[in-house]
Amino acid sequence: MHIIIFDGSFKTTAFINRLIMGLIIQGQKVSVIGFNEINSNPIPMVKYQSLGSNQSKLKFIKTSLGLAVRWGLPKSFFQAMLFLVQGNRKALQKQNLDLVLKNLQPDVVHVQWPTLLLWLEPYFNNLNFKIILSQRGSQNNITPFVSKSFAKILSNYYHRLDGLHSVSKAISVRYQKIISIIDIPNHVIYSGTSISSLKMNQTLKHKSEKLQMISVGRSHWVKDYPTAIKACSYLKQKGIDFHYTIIGGQGDEEVLFLIHDLGLENHISLTYKIPQEEVFEKVYHADVMLLPSVEEGIANVAVESMALGTPVISTNCGGMEELITHNKEGWIVPIRDSEALNMQIIKFMNLDAEQIKNITIKARQKVEQQHNEEKMIKDMMNLYATVLKY
């Protein structure tokens, strides 16, 4: 098969990179198309094709004319010149996309974000290739439920897709709230993690003299750090010695004000985004990971934390209950409930080291079974084969 990954850019996420590398290992042909011109981290054996960058006018002109000359008819070149004279960037990008799809001749175009479906409207129900959409991220979890116009667009396009990939059962079901049930393949395929590269902490993990808690993720309302900070205030009132680090939380005025207002400056640290290996190191040595989000698919940071042997306390958002069974692989609390989160932290502190070890072992096993990279690739190949037969 020839699979095109339509990501919008070449700055593909860890999930997409693992998917691409797995497909290459399986002998599939993979191309990535997007609106970037420069790719600083290309994956070997993958063709990256720009549709015209929004960052450099000169490179945009060079790419567009190059595609028209290399893959188009004389008409395409003159059309490209006309669009350039008119300053019609979008029309030229659409022509670029058309030339790329006709000449790469994919079997499947795997779209990573719903907003990209607008570019593919002319190609729905074509006989040359199938179109699959991944359901993950805020464009599926949040935007359709706060924007009626976006929900209407999705409702129109979903009925014309050839297949869906959902990162959790929760998100697979949730889209039916904005559109009626449609009869196309919709496979739940959990994101694969490079488990072998994540060494599990085998020590008897128990609270240190000062409880070390950690969260990882950009400062955004969906992460709901204020709930975790309020839970920390309760801990302080009870005289518990702790420190809470939020990696990626630096720069949020609301969070900074709340920390100051509750007098938690000596108990909570915010950092900017740091390299992935440093994140793993900090998570590895933490006593517990907090995931206070109001919405997630299945949070990769929780999967990675469980693989590293750091227990997770998560809210019951999105598909997190598909990853964590309460009191088995971790703990689940209601969303936006700082008191429930505080109580669960205290319950965690009262566990002995052997109880915590049993939780972390089961958590690692759950990740190995459900978020195995090889299984993800196998399941994705099955989805591609299914839509091609459909």
Quote the tokens at residue 204: 């008897």
Q: Which amino acid is at 250?
A: Q
Report how far apart, in Å, the C-alpha atoms of 137 and of each of 10, 151, 349 are. Answer: 17, 15, 33
Residue 55 domain flag = no
Beta-bridged to residue 187, according to DSSP, are 165
Cβ atoms within 10 Å, residue 340: 17
Question: Average pLDDT by consecutive 10-residue portion of the chain (390 residues)?
Answer: 92 88 95 87 92 84 91 88 91 94 96 92 92 83 73 82 91 71 84 86 66 93 95 96 95 92 96 93 96 93 96 96 97 98 96 93 96 94 94
Locate 60 and state its tokens.
């945009």
**Together in a domain, 130 and 246:** no
pLDDT at 208: 60
111 in the same domain as 9: yes
The CATH number of residue 158's host domain is 3.40.50.2000
Helix (H, G, I), strand (E, B) or coil at 290: strand
Residue 70 lies in a domain: no
65 belongs to a structural domain: no
Provide the pLDDT for residue 120.
95
Spatial separation of the C-alpha atoms in residues 257 and 249, rounded to whole Å: 13
* Residues 138 and 203 placed together within one structural domain of the fold: no
Task: Tell me: do 153 and 6 sit in the same domain.
Answer: yes
Residue 263 falls inside a structural domain: yes
pLDDT of residue 12: 83
SS (H, E, C) 192-219: CECHHHCCCCCCCCCCCCCEEEEEECCC
DSSP tag of 118: G
Q: Is the pTM above the cut of 0.85?
A: yes
Distance CA 223, CA 211 (A): 21
Domain containing residue 128: 2-50+107-192+373-389
Note whether 32 and 4 are within 8 A (CB).
Answer: yes
Question: pLDDT value at position 207?
Answer: 52
Instruction: Indicate if 161 and 16 belong to the same structural domain.
Output: yes
Residue 196: the pLDDT is 80
In a domain, 80, yes or no: no
Domain co-membership, 39 together with 151:
yes
